[in-house]
Structure 1
């Protein structure tokens, strides 16, 4: 969008391996069955990426959502966030911003958080909602088409073509080669391992990000309502007493639902809130961050391995009551039926997450929930549901210049898949940085 806004006489081709947004249908939702392992998964692939079926939250802060400030500076990032937010408003984002208006209540929650050894980060959040997010993405696509951009869905990029250290184009499925002077790689979290493979092949150095692994927590909406009413999404950070591991809340969805994701055959869990319909529950992720040291350099493989254990034991995503986890017993169908929290993800298999997670991860998750119970009584209830595994595949970061250019001339990388962002706003901002870098070379 930035390229056509600044200069409309250049040829632009967008390639997406998934389906067009109107054809992104998940059978597990429409037919109420277990994940049928569609390839590619329409929940995470297709026009709009995983964000199209996310909760659609625009986090308007430089503190959350990535590390783009390390490349362009915090002041420049702040300006870009305002710019990107304005573009979303142009295409139909709602005017309301949560999380900054009631200073007295915010300060009260911050005091409670400190007393429970939690850090509460107040941020402005503009909530699109899943349905409205898709509407905005459709409008953006129509704008691009009307501006002369060529868009091809159902087209996977297999390989990046480089000659004498300079980009020449890409090779798509079927072996066809497409040539171009500039290429931006933005494969999303689902494509992070593919991007890491291309980087290895081309000799582009990688840096190791922390790997985030954890659970999706589901409670009655009334438990979190004091927080969600003020913040919409309350962002907490905690350091475990047992191992000093960083634990954080992520992607809080008031009155939302827990959903499945399929990452190339690996079934994981996520959550979102609809713009136009509500459930009786609120869900959020509790993620444990772990940065590996030498000689280990495969954080994505590690995350996939942990998630695969849940798939192996439960045939997909597993769900366990917190009370059963603490008591050292498996949740079965009988125990789940007695839960006061009614699960919104019926496809999850009742099981025992202690057979899936490393001990230090489980300890960190349980400690975090206990601390959160001081802020929102009821979080540490025996009826709280834990779905596993939730894992974020952005754990390898390409070495990039402040223009987001790789060591290959005119080859740029952006978004979550490149490891530089962790959310819609900074991912969008990174695209603007890459586009402006290209524009400066065309003038």
Structure 2
């Protein structure tokens, strides 16, 4: 029998044996009566003066051991019902050609992986480069200001999450989350992601994981094509015929998965021209704030800051502005990380947060973002994109038109005065920063919400307003501003052979939820179609085939 035991609280210096002893105590048995113990959740509880670790564990009892019947009434003890994993049964609809997946981010990768494991030989089309060449291209942008619009922190193998903190937290509560995490561990992610309350892998680990997933897909008969951008979709009376790559190469296509990511603005425009229904969607815009990590550790852990078993602290803050009705919240907080240039088109400056697994830069950063809604752009499906582009171009101008970002000391922002020097500042943005007044970047209403919210947060978290803190702009790629409308079969309401998928389609937010959506789409394809009759090949002198890397 497996039993789940919750609410185990232990001091920071506890031993593994104490976890077992505490679980046994709650079950009113001896520690030696526990045959096996598995960590299900580990978290830091810093809500009181003393900091604790809290655990949820699953235990298996030795043969013949039973617990008192009255204990089952406790909210902290429960039987674990074993669920038999349902096997997918392939459908019988004709699938003339391999499923084609546009995009190799989490949604595209996990969709392709499941399809490959069921023998569907998926073809993944990626406008950017494979991970090794992508890293070099991104470094050229950060170090020299040379932007490649087709390969950057948004586009390329692994998607935008490849150059991020690698957060794996999600609130979707889907059973597929475990599959995603187990798969990532299988391909090299740290095993602790299976039980940490706030798991992350860092940009360094996620790069290795996505490459190994690609190799697995190819080994199962799938294929990848890099430097291959979707430029047209050929549809005849709602029947999907083919797609065009790089404006030159036509590829037969009977099922198309659009796992495009939230920055594929050219694809949104293409879909609109093709009559694919799009809806505008709320998202958020703002800036990045940076503090010394030791300050955040002290604010969160108090006297326990610096304890060797405590990792770099994070935070999550929200504020509801009564004057405007807008929400302000922290987003994608990166302990011990960097603020990075994340532009994907010329004449843009875009910020994002990134950290390595060690989170050891000594600088904490987080986006501070204000909600925007479709009524802000009169419900035009592509109006949110125009808002993003306007802000990104203003940031480019304020930053000096060389991809440096406008940056302001927090104290200057709150006092509405421009920053004239950033000498000695903690700003980490690459390719670089330029002193600026962010009141000239964001609309006045947004700046006022940000100002009121920061003062509010400083009351909740005294010390948040710190003389060393800096703000860098602009943060716009929080989520997709567009939803590609789909039905209960997960196909476009405008075409039954097109499957919008993941964050770019408006159905996910973050690495894990995007991967889960990719799995859902793969399941629907498998249930509907028999394996493909023919694998398709893409040929072009500039296109790089994954199986040849």
TM-score clears 0.5: yes
**Partner residue, 2:150:** 40
Query: Displacement, 1:431?
Result: 0.6
Distance in 2, matches of 1:32 and 1:420, equals 30
CA contact (8 A) 1:41 1:261 kept: no
- Determine if the alignment matches structure 1 residue 3 to structure 2 residue 115: yes
Distance in 2, matches of 1:182 and 1:332, equals 55
Distance in 2, matches of 1:232 and 1:13, equals 41
| Correspondence for 1:168 among 241, 244, 263 | 241
| Correspondence for 1:318 among 406, 409, 418 | 406
| Correspondence for 1:88 among 184, 196, 203 | 184
| Correspondence for 1:409 among 464, 483, 496 | 496
Moved more, 432-441 or 77-86: 77-86
- Determine if the alignment matches structure 1 residue 136 to structure 2 residue 248: no
> Per the alignment, do residues 312 and 372 of structure 1 end up closer, same or farther by CA in structure 2, a change over 3 Å counting?
same
Moved more, 278-287 or 18-27: 18-27
Distance in 2, matches of 1:329 and 1:159, equals 48
| Correspondence for 1:146 among 216, 219, 224 | 219
Q: Deviations over 1:98-154 (max 9, x none)?
A: 9x98xxxxxxxxxxxxxxxxxxxxxx3211011011011111111111111111100
Gaps of 5+ in 1: 63-76, 102-123
Distance in 1, matches of 2:355 and 2:517, equals 25
Query: Displacement, 1:60?
Result: 3.3
> Per the alignment, do residues 165 and 304 of structure 1 end up closer, same or farther by CA in structure 2, a change over 3 Å counting?
same
**Partner residue, 2:418:** 330
CA contact (8 A) 1:34 1:347 kept: no
> Per the alignment, do residues 435 and 330 of structure 1 end up closer, same or farther by CA in structure 2, a change over 3 Å counting?
same
Secondary structure at the aligned position of 1:58 is classed as: coil
Give the TM-score taking structure 1 as reference length.
Answer: 0.84
Give the TM-score taking structure 2 as reference length.
Answer: 0.69
Q: Deviations over 1:151-201 (max 9, x none)?
A: 11001110122121122231111421111221101111221x223213312
Q: Greater helix share, 1 or 2?
A: 1
**Alignment: residue pair count:** 400
Q: Deviations over 1:303-344 (max 9, x none)?
A: 1101211111222321100111122221123xx2254x4545
> Per the alignment, do residues 31 and 173 of structure 1 end up closer, same or farther by CA in structure 2, a change over 3 Å counting?
closer
Query: Displacement, 1:16?
Result: 0.4
- Determine if the alignment matches structure 1 residue 282 to structure 2 residue 364: yes
After superposition, residues 23-422 of structure 1 pair within 5 angstroms as 23-25=133-135, 29=139, 33=143, 35-62=145-172, 78-97=174-193, 124-191=197-264, 193-225=265-297, 226-227=299-300, 233-265=314-346, 266-276=348-358, 278-293=360-375, 295-297=378-380, 298-314=383-399, 315=401, 316=403, 317-333=405-421, 336-337=422-423, 339=425, 341=426, 343=428, 345=430, 347-392=432-477, 394-406=480-492, 407-422=494-509
CA contact (8 A) 2:142 2:430 kept: no
Secondary structure at the aligned position of 1:222 is classed as: helix
Distance in 2, matches of 1:375 and 1:231, equals 20
Secondary structure at the aligned position of 1:401 is classed as: coil
> Per the alignment, do residues 86 and 27 of structure 1 end up closer, same or farther by CA in structure 2, a change over 3 Å counting?
closer
CA contact (8 A) 2:126 2:156 kept: yes
CA contact (8 A) 1:169 1:181 kept: yes
Distance in 1, matches of 2:374 and 2:128, equals 32
Query: Displacement, 1:256?
Result: 0.7
Gaps of 5+ in 2: 1-112, 302-309, 531-549
CA contact (8 A) 1:255 1:273 kept: yes
* C-alpha RMSD of matched pairs (Å): 2.3
Higher-Rg structure is 2
Query: Displacement, 1:28?
Result: 7.2
Distance in 2, matches of 1:230 and 1:274, equals 13
Distance in 2, matches of 1:197 and 1:369, equals 37
